[in-house]
Chain A
């Protein structure tokens, strides 16, 4: 498991082991902090034909790759219709590949738009609104920056982009049809809009080096009117050292009129590795870790976004944690990044091209056209049938 999750679930694991003493013992191995490093470690064993673990906590983008490589055991026999229906809308995204259920979600992270309730009455619904509100506030000297987001050349940038291109009515890549939508009008518009934000000063130039923590830092110290970040940021913003305590609202990302907003799905889930010697026990452990009680515990103690619909409708919980409602609403708009085994490669292509346009090395249109071409070449060279 990724280190943060290993830590947050350690209590639960202890309880599970106590309950099942003598029958099942679950050992959680703490993996490196960097997401890709965990996958590298697993892959190096799997490629040699070994199954290093029984289960793996998987990032949503790994599922197609591991599935296509034949490393995941189907969970269809262990979870039924009812289980799937019990999940909140949007939490069930990214767990299937080619019809099989291969991952059971542990949390349901999505990209959110954070806004300052003390500076405006209503959050913006369209990109233009976001811009005009920001500019009004900036011109009036009320705030230095309008909108901070993750613009560094890394996976976070792809997440940001997905929300925008979908909000403009386009699509990055559809594995089913093989269509790449980067050089079509919505893709070009999305790229141009992000550039525009920087050029007009709505977003600071430094945003091209921002990951989640830098954007959070900026918003937390009261320097921005809007921020794009994951649900975890909410708890951070309510801490005592935050300048914007009790002045924050969350909503879905902006979208063009006539198009639905999109919230990039960033969830982690549990998968059963093929070749595991204890599939039933492992799935039992999965079920325990994702049970309703466990989810309440993880949410209230660690801010881990739950997946079960019931929890989002729990009145008592909502009283104490009002942000849960907005998160649940945004979850309904969850969008998965292109579910292809080659995702990592096409994401890198997009990140590099987008980043070069954001830093002014290419124009937004050129960047998207190059990205389109490179993506096509990657797919073709790797044997993706068009």
Chain B
């Protein structure tokens, strides 16, 4: 249908235009940025990328920090959420409904409001500037979503499977290892990727817990770059930083599109 084609095109333009503009800007010289129709040979440059990548500390450091925290918090989240959702899926209807309500309430909570309490904890327990410590509140904040998604996955499994395994004498750990976990692995993948995305994008807690420039995660580093403008038109380097910062996530979305979509949609359906 022609109309659908047009709409799809419109959707693509809408979604990708701002980023494309950043990509374009990142290769323009400062001169080209302020004079709309400058001569072509003075237009393109790789300087902005150089200045971003060679900054102190190097930009790659931020990506690595985010990667580390993301991985650790995903691991912690799953460690806690898998047993919890298993037990929740076995519970009676009424009690599980109460707990689910509580979980949805937590998921609705705007977590930015927690920054002060978490700051006090960081001060009191000297947890500031530790990427390992940062993974802990992230894992906590991801629990509601993770538990809800995984409980659904467990509930969807036919009960006979596990009963049969139990009859054959497999212990709980063995049942998990050989039957349950493999069967819900799509759900685990979805949950993992969503938790990872959350921790990559998280800003207020990382902002208050990390001040050391070598330990910043990507969002905080970008905000610092934003606030550090000392030029009148710093947008070339900004654009380069935006592009570099976006690449990992774009790749992530492209590769893991399926689990992301199925995770959110099943969450919505059962929620």
Contact = CB atoms under 8 A, between A and B. Distances in A.
B228 interface: yes
Interface string A16-43: 0000000000000011111001001100
A3 interface: yes
Given A48-B129, A48-B211, A52-B211, A37 B227 contact: yes
Contacts of A47: 119, 123
A246 interface: no
A50 B227 contact: no
Contacts of A37: 227-228
A204 to B, nearest CB: 26
Interface string B122-135: 11001011000000
B265 interface: no
A47 B229 CA distance: 24
A10 interface: no
Contacts of A31: 228
A49 interface: yes
Nearest to B56: A29
Contact of A50 (B211, B228, B229, B230): B211
Contacts of A315: none
A200 interface: no
17 contacts: A3-B230, A30-B228, A30-B230, A32-B230, A34-B227, A41-B224, A41-B227, A44-B211, A48-B128, A48-B211, A49-B123, A49-B126, A49-B128, A50-B128, A50-B129, A50-B212, A52-B211
Which among A3, A44, A47, A52 has the greatest number of chain B C-beta atoms within 10 A? A44
Given A47-B123, A48-B123, A50-B211, A33 B230 contact: yes
B62 interface: no
Chain B, interface size category, equals 10 to 19
A3 B123 CA distance: 30
Interface size class of A (residues with CB under 8 A): 10 to 19
B209 interface: yes
Nearest to B130: A48
A22 to B, nearest CB: 23
Interface string A40-76: 1100110111101000000000000000000000000
A44 B227 CA distance: 14
Contacts of A49: 123, 126, 128
Interface in B168-214: 207-209, 211-212
Interface in A302-337: none
Contacts of B129: 48, 50
B229 A32 contact: yes
Interface in B92-138: 119, 122-123, 126, 128-129
Nearest to A34: B227
A108 B228 CA distance: 25
Report, nearest first, the 9 A-B pairs whose CB atoms are least far apart: A48-B128, A45-B211, A3-B230, A44-B211, A32-B228, A37-B227, A32-B227, A33-B230, A48-B211
A60 to B, nearest CB: 22
Nearest to B213: A52
B230 A48 contact: no
A41 B211 CA distance: 8
A156 to B, nearest CB: 20
Contacts of B211: 41, 44-45, 48, 50, 52
A31 B213 CA distance: 13
A40 B128 CA distance: 16
A48 B209 contact: yes
Contacts of A3: 230
A45 B229 contact: no
Contact of B207 (A32, A44, A45, A50): A44
B224 to A, nearest CB: 8
A52 B128 CA distance: 13
A47 B228 CA distance: 20
Contacts of A45: 211-212
B123 A33 contact: no
A37 B230 CA distance: 12
A47 B207 CA distance: 12
A50 B209 CA distance: 11
A221 B114 CA distance: 51
B229 A33 contact: yes
Contacts of B229: 32-33
Contacts of B126: 49
Nearest to A3: B230
Contacts of A52: 211-212
A268 to B, nearest CB: 16
Nearest to B220: A44
A31 B230 CA distance: 8
Contacts of B208: 44
A4 to B, nearest CB: 9
Interface in B212-261: 212, 224, 227-230
